[in-house]
């Protein structure tokens, strides 16, 4: 739980005592590739953070973690980045 809280605080710009702007994770992905849907974002951040494209059960867990009503917004993409960064595939290498 501690890692997840740290990652979320970092992504939202509140890891330190000063208030910084939240990471525009969607904007970052769009600067580096064409983004049409969640698969594009998932592939980009999976490769960036883990060095691989999430597939199979890992991909299903990440998408399920977003929930059925997730929207492709900066906040939604930050949630996906937090899920990727705290997943066992990234933590255990």
pLDDT reported for residue 90:
80
- The residues, ordered by sequence, that sit 6+ positions from 59 with a Cβ below 8 Å of its Cβ are 42
Let me know: does 72 contact 40? Beta carbons within 8 Å.
Answer: no
Sequence ranges of the domains in the chain: 23-91
pLDDT tens by residue, 37-79: 999 999 999 999 899 999 999 999 999 999 999 999 999 999 9
pLDDT reported for residue 8:
61
pLDDT tens by residue, 12-36: 766 666 667 788 999 999 999 999 9
Residues 18 and 69: their CA atoms lie apart, in Å, by 32
| CA 4 remoteness from chain centre | 12
C-alpha to C-alpha distances, 14 to 7, 10, 20, nearest whole angstrom: 10, 6, 6
pLDDT reported for residue 91:
77
pLDDT reported for residue 7:
62
């Amino acid at each position: 739980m501690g890692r997840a809280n740290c990652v979320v605080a970092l992504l939202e710009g509140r890891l330190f005592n000063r208030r910084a702007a939240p990471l525009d994770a969607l904007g970052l992905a769009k600067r580096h590739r064409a983004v049409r849907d969640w698969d594009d974002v998932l592939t980009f951040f999976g490769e960036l953070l883990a060095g691989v494209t999430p597939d199979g059960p890992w991909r299903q867990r990440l998408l399920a973690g977003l929930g059925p009503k997730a929207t492709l917004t900066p906040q939604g993409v930050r949630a996906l980045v937090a899920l990727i960064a705290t997943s066992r595939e990234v933590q255990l290498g």
